[in-house]
Amino acid sequence: MRILALMSGGLDSSMAVVRLLDRGDNVVGVTYRLVGGRSHDDPVDLAAGVARHLGIEHHLVDLSATFEEEVLAPLAAAYAAGVTPNPCVLCNPAVKLAAAVELARRMECDRLATGHYARVDHSGPTPRLLRGLDRSKDQSYFLYRVPQSTLAQLELPLGESSKQEVRAEAQRRGLQVWNRPESQDVCFGEAREMVELVAARHPEAGEPGEIVDRSGRVLGVHGGIGGFTVGQRRGLGIGGGPALYVIRIDPEERRVVVGPRDSLATRTLHLRECIWRQEGPDRGLTVMPRYRSAPLPCMVQREGSQASVHLDETLYGGAPGQSAVVYEGDTVVGGGFIAAGEG
């Protein structure tokens, strides 16, 4: 089988290629240039080096314009509006995998592959997206919006392994990236901080404003709402007294509203722009309201592209803009973006 493998220059995507080669597949590597500039530890160079080491064909594709349009611009606009998106949730379906589908067609590849720690069950009439067996590394959350047609082409060679197993195998095989640290969620490059990225596109999000309590009493000042998210406790710069959390962001007034942890208590999450991979059931489900959060038992009411997720226990948080991903056992049922939480 001829497979197009996305290579980021990191450990996981490199080992995904190794697993495919071990299986006897003909692998073509592709690496994306998502932002301008280069560093001494450039991922493109690392990916090309791994491809040479493994003796596979390798291509570089510039997707910087698409990445700006589909990820960076919406990300900055969301932060400027006081919500907190997850860039990988945006990038995987709209940029990386969307481009891979077209590249695979042009290069006459049968399947796509990535180094995500998740699984795809191809045994039934339609593919099912499943959690990775290593719960501490499971990345199915980031793939919940990938179209079914793309999922049908997707191979995830690491889904049944742990990170420790993958790293040890890479070391045994002499891959130069075996001890490379975890990559960041956003492919900015080291010099581009989130606050700077937001302020460059929306200067108003980088303007100072007030930090206030629920009654409107001023507790301090901040350097821009682009640096805050609902549920945040650290980095508020107001010190002293009981612990306070960001409970609301008011972009029009450039205000960050803080309060005690109980102010974040939520029993219902209202979702927008939902996608569903299967019809029902609406009970016996769990939801992850952010990446690496504990799955919470829930019941779901679907209303077209919107939904309400009723939790069996109280959630403290649920930042608007984050994805809430719904599971039935290990299977991804669907999910959407959090519009609001309700106590």
Secondary structure of 248-317 in HEC code, one letter for each residue: EEECCCCEEEEECHHHHEEEEEEEEEEEECCCCCCCCEEEECCCCCCCEEEEEEEECCEEEEEEEEEEEC
Q: Find the helix or strand (DSSP H, E) in which 131 lies.
A: strand 128-131
41 exposure class (CB count in 10 Å sphere: 0-12, 13-18, 19+): exposed
pLDDT in tens, 152-195: 999 999 999 999 999 999 999 888 888 887 765 556 544 346 77
Whether residue 274 contacts residue 334, with contact meaning beta carbons closer than 8 Å, is answered with yes
Cα(first)–Cα(last) distance of the chain, in Å?
52
Give the relative orientation of helices 73-80 and 194-201 as an angle to the nearest 10 degrees: 90
Residue of 208, 317, 203, 210 whose CA lies nearest to 257: 210
Q: Find the helix or strand (DSSP H, E) in which 129 lies.
A: strand 128-131
Residues in contact with 321: Cβ distance below 8 Å, sequence separation at least 6, in sequence order: 78, 83, 84, 85, 86, 337, 338
Q: Find the helix or strand (DSSP H, E) in which 177 lies.
A: none
Whether residue 291 contacts residue 319, with contact meaning beta carbons closer than 8 Å, is answered with no
Whether residue 22 contacts residue 86, with contact meaning beta carbons closer than 8 Å, is answered with no
Give the relative orientation of helices 43-54 and 11-22 as an angle to the nearest 10 degrees: 20
Q: What is the pTM of this model?
A: 0.91
Residue of 59, 4, 22, 57 whose CA lies nearest to 161: 22
Give the domains, in start order, of the chain with CATH numbers. Answer: 2-172 (3.40.50.620), 207-259 (2.30.30.280), 264-342 (2.40.30.10)
The active-site residue, picked from 109, 187, 274, 298, is 187
**Which pLDDT tens digits describe the chain residue by residue (343 residues)?**
999 999 998 999 999 999 999 999 999 999 999 886 665 567 888 899 999 999 999 999 999 999 999 999 999 999 999 999 889 999 999 999 999 999 999 999 999 999 999 999 999 899 999 999 999 999 999 999 999 999 999 999 999 999 999 999 999 988 888 888 776 555 654 434 677 888 889 998 889 999 999 999 999 999 899 889 999 998 888 877 789 999 999 999 999 999 999 999 999 999 999 999 988 779 899 999 999 888 999 999 999 899 999 999 999 988 999 999 999 999 999 999 999 988 7
The active-site residue, picked from 91, 109, 274, 298, is 91
Whether residue 58 contacts residue 48, with contact meaning beta carbons closer than 8 Å, is answered with yes
- The answer to whether residue 187 is catalytic is yes
